Amino acid sequence: MEPVLPPIGMLAELTHRCPLQCAYCSNPVELLKANREMDTGGWISLFEQAADLGVLQVHLSGGEPTLRTDLVELVRCLAQRGVYTNLITAGVGIAEGRIEALAEAGLDHIQLSFQGAFATTTEKIGNARGAHEKKIETARRVRATGLPLTINAPIHRHNMNEVPDFIDLALDLGAERLEIANVQYAGWALLNRDALMPQRAAVERQVLIVEEAQERLRGIMTIDFVTPDYFAIYPKPCMGGWARDAFMVAPDGTVLPCHAAATIKTLQFERFGDRPLSEIWHDSAAFKAFRGTDWMQEPCRSCERKEIDWGGCRCQAMAIAGDAAASDPACIKSPFHDRMGALIDQATGKKSSDGTFAYRRIGRMSEPMV
């Protein structure tokens, strides 16, 4: 077993509260209410320990992180420790002066999501009237502060044909970067998988459009492409590999290897405060469960790619193969790979799946059946 290196990145889900109700959200279906959130002192203590441990980047996310009234204080704490901070926001309802205060506190970057390239799509996917105009206004305010801006476009069946328009929108807004991110089926997105799954022909068209734009806009705007797992031949190294260089923290301070780890019911997760972060990272059973390659079964065990993708996503293996230690079924070598194709056919063949979403809301208390 190789020595455990310190983590580089941390995703801090400060809250599950959000003004939008996106059906593709990767948050767990069992969302935490505000009274379960860690307080300011807890987050500051966690960030101090993360910096001591070696964390270089913190992604402040949610839910909607700007709903935390202490966000400026949290950013200042991280900036003072020299940690790079990225705010991941839906950009709706951010009070006057707040973006400027975050920039002044040392925020390094803002990632702003758009559910559609047009107002009607954004409103339908996020179930929030007027959201699109508010996002455009947020983008203008971000640019006015001089902060770097990434536009994040989570892609699925209902907005895939807007990819060229997302590219135009990001250029208009002066973004340095656009992320065309095909949704990962975890949390609410898994619950809504049949309604969100795109047609194969649309995925193939999308790939060509993105490749052409990446070439055309080289040196003008970077386009990152998160490919759709269900249409892949090989999986992505989820989280860069389980407990290799990044982790996440839920609003109540639970420290997790990834955002969907709680769907692996055999694992138990520890809460920051019950134990120092360093001990959780190095010693907790959940982090050790799939770290490295010793846990792998065939075909991963003898595969030449095992230190490229680290076997893919454990949570996807759990959801589709029913075994968190199986190869990610996105992999063509997985005995469960055909199930991905069958799930695409099942989803795209359904007449009823054309737009009926289970919108994200706090209070729904069960994980989706697969």
Candidates 28-36, 102-110, 122-130, 254-262; binding stretch for ligand FES (CB under 6 A): 254-262
Which of ligand SF4, ligand FES, none lies near 260, with the C-beta cut-off 5 to 8 A by kind? Answer: ligand FES
User: What part of residues 279-298 is at the interface with ligand SF4 (CB under 6 A)?
Assistant: none
Cβ neighbour number for residue 325 with a 10 Å cutoff: 17
Binding mask 12-51 for ligand SF4 (x = CB under 6 A): ----------------------------------------
Closest to ligand SF4 by CB, 253 vs 329, is: 329
**Would the CA dihedral through 135, 137, 141, 144 be positive or negative?**
positive
Q: Which position among 210, 246, 258, 303 is part of the footprint of ligand FES (CB under 6 A)?
A: 258
Closest to ligand SF4 by CB, 134 vs 339, is: 339
Closest to ligand FES by CB, 10 vs 186, is: 186
Report CA dihedral (89, 229, 365, 249) to the nearest 10 degrees: -50
Q: Which position among 17, 158, 314, 360 is part of the footprint of ligand FES (CB under 6 A)?
A: 314
Residue 24: how many CA atoms within 13 Å on its side-chain side?
24
Closest to ligand SF4 by CB, 195 vs 239, is: 239
305 binds ligand SF4 (CB under 6 A): yes
Tell which residue, 222, 255, 223, has the closest CA to residue 11: 255
Cis preceding linkage at 63, omega within 30? yes
Binding mask 169-198 for ligand FES (x = CB under 6 A): -----------------x------------
**Residue 276 structure tokens:** 């120092």
Closest to ligand FES by CB, 29 vs 186, is: 186
Binding mask 218-247 for ligand FES (x = CB under 6 A): --------------------xx--x-----
221 backbone dihedrals φ, ψ, rounded to 5°: -150, 135
72 binds ligand SF4 (CB under 6 A): no
Tell which residue, 126, 133, 230, has the closest CA to residue 183: 230
Which of ligand SF4, ligand FES, none lies near 178, with the C-beta cut-off 5 to 8 A by kind? Answer: none
Candidates 98-106, 117-125, 215-223, 327-335; binding stretch for ligand SF4 (CB under 6 A): 327-335
300 binds ligand FES (CB under 6 A): no
Which of ligand FES, ligand SF4, none lies near 305, with the C-beta cut-off 5 to 8 A by kind? Answer: ligand SF4
260 binds ligand FES (CB under 6 A): yes
| Residue 18 is labelled as binding a ligand | yes
Distance separating alpha carbons of residues 335 and 319, to the nearest angstrom? 14
**Where do contacts with ligand FES occur on this chain (CB under 6 A)?**
186, 238-239, 242, 258-261, 313-315
**Where do contacts with ligand SF4 occur on this chain (CB under 6 A)?**
234-235, 299-300, 303, 305-306, 309, 311-312, 327-328, 331, 333
